[in-house]
Amino acid sequence: MLKEFKNFIMTGNVIDFAVAVIMAGALGSVIKGFVSNIAMPFIGYFAGGMNFEDLHYAMDGQEYASLAAAKEAGAAVIAYGSWINTIINLIIVGLVMFIIVKAYNKTKTPAAPAAPAGPSDNDLLSEIRDLLKK
Domains of the chain: 2-110 (1.10.1200.120)
Instruction: Dump pLDDT digits (tens) for 40-93.
Output: 788 778 877 777 777 888 888 888 888 888 888 888 888 888 888 888 878 887
* Residue 23 banded pLDDT, cuts 50, 70, 90: confident
Residue 12: is its pLDDT beyond 70? no
Residue 37: DSSP 8-state: I
Name the more confident of 62 and 10. 62
Q: Looking at residue 94, what is its pLDDT?
A: 83
pTM of the model: 0.54
Report the distance separating Cα 134 and Cα 101, nearest Å.
60
Report the distance separating Cα 36 and Cα 23, nearest Å.
20
Q: How far is C-alpha 115 from the geometric centre of its chain's CA atoms? A: 36
Report the distance separating Cα 33 and Cα 31, nearest Å.
5
Residue 128: is its pLDDT beyond 80? yes
Residue 19: is its pLDDT beyond 70? yes
Residue 28: CB partners within 8 Å, gap ≥ 6? Answer: 93
Q: Looking at residue 13, what is its pLDDT?
A: 73
| Angle of CA points 45, 99, 20, to nearest 5° | 110
Where does residue 49 fall: left (phi above 0), alpha (psi -120 to 50 degrees), or beta otherwise? left
Instruction: Dump pLDDT digits (tens) for 84-122.
Output: 888 887 888 788 788 888 888 888 877 767 767 777 888
